[in-house]
Amino acid sequence: MLNTYFRVIVGTMVLLSVVLTVYVNPNWMWLTVFIGLNLIQSAFTKWCLLETILMKLGVKKTGAGCSL
C-alpha cells in the first residue's frame, strides 16, 4: 500500500511541477529537480522523507517505498 501511495504522490508532484513551469514560472522546474535528487539519494541511503511521513500517517508498509 505504501508503494502505491508513494508512486501516486511523486507522479502527481512531477506533473504539477511541469504544469506550473509551463503556465506560471520556469523556476517551478526546481521542484522537479528536488524530487529527482530525493529519489537518487534514497536509492543510496535507503531513507525517504515521504515514506517516513506516510508511515506516521498510518499507511501500512506492504511493499517498497522509495526503493522501487
Query: How many structural domains compose the chain?
Result: 1
CB atoms within 10 A of CB 6: 21
pTM of the model: 0.79
pLDDT of residue 3: 87
Report how far residue 45's alpha carbon sits from residue 35's, in angstroms, rounded to the nearest whole number: 15
Residue 65 in any domain: the answer is no
pLDDT of residue 17: 96
pLDDT of residue 63: 54
Residue 68 in any domain: the answer is no
Q: Which residue segment(s) compose the domain that 26 sits in?
A: 2-56
Count CA within 13 A, CB hemisphere, residue 55.
13
pLDDT along the chain (68 residues), means of 10: 90 96 96 94 92 91 60
Under a CB-based contact definition with an 8 Å cutoff, are residues 55 and 6 in contact? no
